[in-house]
Amino acid sequence: MRPLHKLERRLLVSLARNGGGFLEDVTSRANMSIDQARRTVEWLRSKGMIKIETITRHRIEVLNEGKRAIEHGLPERRLVKVLGEIGGEATIDELVKAFDSTRQEFSAAFGHARAKGWIDTFSKEGRTIVRVSAFDRNQVEESLLRRVEEKGLLFEELSEEEEKVIDELSKRPNYLSKIGTKIININLTEVGKSIAETIKEVREIDRLTPELIMSGKWREQKLRSLDVEAVAPAVYPGKKHPIQRFVDEVRGAFVSLGFEEITGPIIQPSFWNFDALFVPQDHPARDMQDTFYLPKIREPKLASKDLVERISRVHMDGGGTGSKGWRYNWTLDEAKRLVLRTHTTAVTVKYLADHKASEAKVFSVDKVFRNEKLDTKHLAELHQIEGIIVSKRATLRDLMGVLSEFYKILGLKKVKFWPTYFPYTEPSLQSIVHVKGFGWMELCGMGIFRPEVTLPLGVKNPVLAWGGGLERLVMARLRIEDIRELYENDLGWLRRVPLCL
Ligand code: PHE
């Protein structure tokens, strides 16, 4: 048999020793909280060791008028008292005045007092006189009400006499209400009894504390064994979105390699998104088909006049970088057009311009936007992982090495590289990675920034740069075929996505 939980043993022993009864009593005799008892009762019931019977009982709740009666006596008693105080006899009008209450309460008090025979009336000189005829000092109703209120008695616990009193009182408005409650009665079954007899009082612990470990006392303790196969309810606590979790993981990977994070605005002038990266103004990537353009609300500030001038020269004739440039008529207007950044390389290149670092290792994991038709592989809004290394001796081999290392941290071990083309890097590489059970997938683009990019910014050392999509890595990890699923925010899916993979 599976080992019994500490609470199960405690409850069984207590039931065998003290007998069964209502859940509340059983609970307190076994020295448990009501929650512990509920759980334990359920476990033991499913194992056939206890039987449960549910009985409906009535709790009596004393309402406002009832409470007033407890404090000041029933209205009829107050009336008789008042009548006594004004001489034991009075006309109705005098009594109403002395009683000093609402008309309604007076008539109730009067009616009850007369019905109980505490007062009677006679007529004298044509007027009706009320007088005290008897008085009951026992205050049966009041003391019963008080007991009910203080002890929370159940209707079924009262004597027959008392039940009658309660029923009478409950006819008065706002005195009492009877509330049916289910009462759980618990008893050991034969199986439970025989098992309870075998339980020895072994003191087991179910928590290893630092103290126990440090003092070595754990060696003398008996540890409760755990049933790791026991069925447990599924819990769905709040947790981070899988994308956000992966973003954090990527940040961690970069930081562990000594990179610092940089961020920048989502809206960029074409100048930083394209021109500073030596993307010619007629390049297809700048097309409306690929890029989201925004209306120009304000004149954007691009950079210093000097820098804008140097970059325009690089485009037109190489500007003394040793390049011939693209040889076309560069325009400031085109550079000022606002875009939702299409890659985080816009942020990287602005960082280079601002810092002119001779040595640097920075990264960003941030949103980019592409004017794409959505399908199983494409989103219009996605995350890009981007990094650069500025170093005097940096080479393409270093770039491949760092990337392999970086992806290894994320659990991706097989990476392949081959040459490709970007307007801003030379040489340029493309990479793919192998994901178990998923196959090969495109990873990121990379290269060494061209002198046409770095020299106008004032950066002399080589800059290794790379950038790639984040969502597809999450897809591979979560074995998702359709990229759109990541952002559908289907609650069922979000709940089921495992935290560790
Ligand atoms: N910006 C490129 C893209 O969006 C990736 C890249 C970054 C390539 C840096 C080379 C250098 O795909």
Phi first, then psi: give them for residue 197, nearest 5 degrees. -65, -30
At 387 the pLDDT is 97
Q: What is the pLDDT of residues 303-343, one digit of tens each?
A: 999 999 999 999 999 999 999 999 999 999 999 999 999 99
Percent with pLDDT over 70 in the chain:
99
CB 432 within 8 A of CB 445: no
Q: Quote the percentage of the chain above a pLDDT of 90.
A: 69
Q: Is the CB of 469 under 6 A from ligand 1?
A: no
**pLDDT of residue 195 exceeding 80:** yes
Mean pLDDT along residues 5-25: 90
Distances (CA, A) of 138 to 37, 141, 252: 42, 9, 80
Contacts for 40 with CB less than 8 Å, ≥ 6 apart? 5, 7, 8, 10, 11, 32
Q: What per-residue confidence (pLDDT) applies to 427?
A: 97
Write the DSSP string, 382-410: EEEEEEEEE-TT--HHHHHHHHHHHHHHT
List residues bridging with 361 in a β-sheet. 389
Predicted pLDDT of residue 1: 63
Q: What's the pLDDT score for residue 204?
A: 73
Q: Is the pLDDT of residue 67 over 90?
A: yes
Question: Which H, E and C letters describe 417-460, residue by residue?
Answer: EEEEEECCEEEEEEEEEEECCCEEEEEEEEEEECHHHHHHHCCC
Q: H or E element: which one contains 468?
A: strand 463-469
Burial classification of residue 141, based on how many CB atoms lie within 10 Å of its CB (0-12 exposed, 13-18 middle, 19 or more buried): buried
Instruction: Establish whether residue 312 lines the binding site of ligand 1, counting it when its CB lies within 6 angstroms of any ligand atom.
Output: no
36-45, 48-57, 388-397, 430-439, range with the lowest pLDDT = 430-439
Task: Using the predicted structure, report yes or no on whether residue 105 has a pLDDT greater than 70.
Answer: yes
User: Are 407 and 440 within 8 A, CB to CB?
Assistant: no
Q: List, for residues 226-265, the tens digit of each pLDDT value.
A: 778 777 888 888 899 999 999 999 999 999 999 999 999 9
Taking the alpha carbons of 376, 381, 385, 386 in that order, is the dihedral positive or negative?
positive
CA of 447 to the centre of ligand 1 (A): 8
Residues 366-389 have pLDDT tens digits of 999 999 899 988 899 999 999 999
Question: Rounded to the nearest whole angstrom, what is the distance from the C-alpha of residue 436 to the centroid of ligand 1?
Answer: 25
Instruction: State whether the beta carbon of 445 lies less than 6 angstroms from ligand 1.
Output: yes
Q: Are 316 and 452 in contact (CB under 8 A)?
A: no
Q: The tokens of 363 are what?
A: 């990264």
Round to whole Å and give the CA distance between 21 and 495: 41
Report pTM.
0.60
Q: What's the CA angle centered on 232, arms 228 and 237, to 5 degrees? A: 120
**DSSP code of residue 154:** B
Report the distance separating Cα 159 and Cα 162, nearest Å. Answer: 5
For the CA of 449, the nearest atom of ligand 1: 11
- The mean pLDDT value for 486-501 works out to 87
| Residues 6 or more apart in contact with residue 154 via CB below 8 angstroms | 57, 58, 59, 60
pLDDT above 70 (res 202): no
422 pocket-lining for ligand 1 (C-beta < 6 Å):
yes
Tell me, in angstroms, the distance from the centre of ligand 1 to residue 317's CA.
24
pLDDT tens string 447-492: 999 999 999 999 999 999 999 999 989 998 888 889 999 999 899 9
Place of tokens 């002890």: 151
> Taking 70 as the threshold, does the pLDDT of residue 501 lie above it?
no
pLDDT for 152: 83
Nearest by Cα to 388 from 345, 432, 332, 442: 345
CA dist., res. 125 & res. 5, Å (int)? 85
Mean pLDDT of the chain: 91
| 468 CA from centroid of ligand 1 (Å) | 7
What are the structural domain ranges in the chain?
75-132, 245-496
Cβ atoms of 344 and 254 within 8 Å: the answer is no
Q: What is the rounded average pLDDT of the residues 116-143?
A: 87
CA of 480 to the centre of ligand 1 (A): 24
Contacts of 17 (CB under 8 A, 6+ apart): none
Q: Which atom from ligand 1 is nearest to the alpha carbon of 348?
A: 9
Distance (Å, rounded) from C-alpha 193 to C-alpha 206? 25
Q: How far apart are CA 353 and CA 347, in angstroms?
A: 10
Which CATH number is 75-132 given? 1.10.10.10
Q: Three-state SS for 221?
A: coil
For the 245-496 domain, the top CATH level (class) is alpha beta
Q: State how far Cα 95 lies from the chain centre.
A: 65
- Per DSSP, the residues of 43-80 read HHHHTTSEEEEEEEEEEEEE-HHHHHHHHH--HHHHHH
Calculate how far, in angstroms, residue 275's C-alpha sits from the geometric centre of ligand 1: 14
Q: Whose CA is nearest to atom 10 of ligand 1?
A: 446
Q: Is the CB of 345 under 6 A from ligand 1?
A: yes
94 versus 500: the higher-pLDDT residue is: 94
- What pLDDT is attached to residue 244? 95
Count of H helices and E strands in the chain?
21, 18
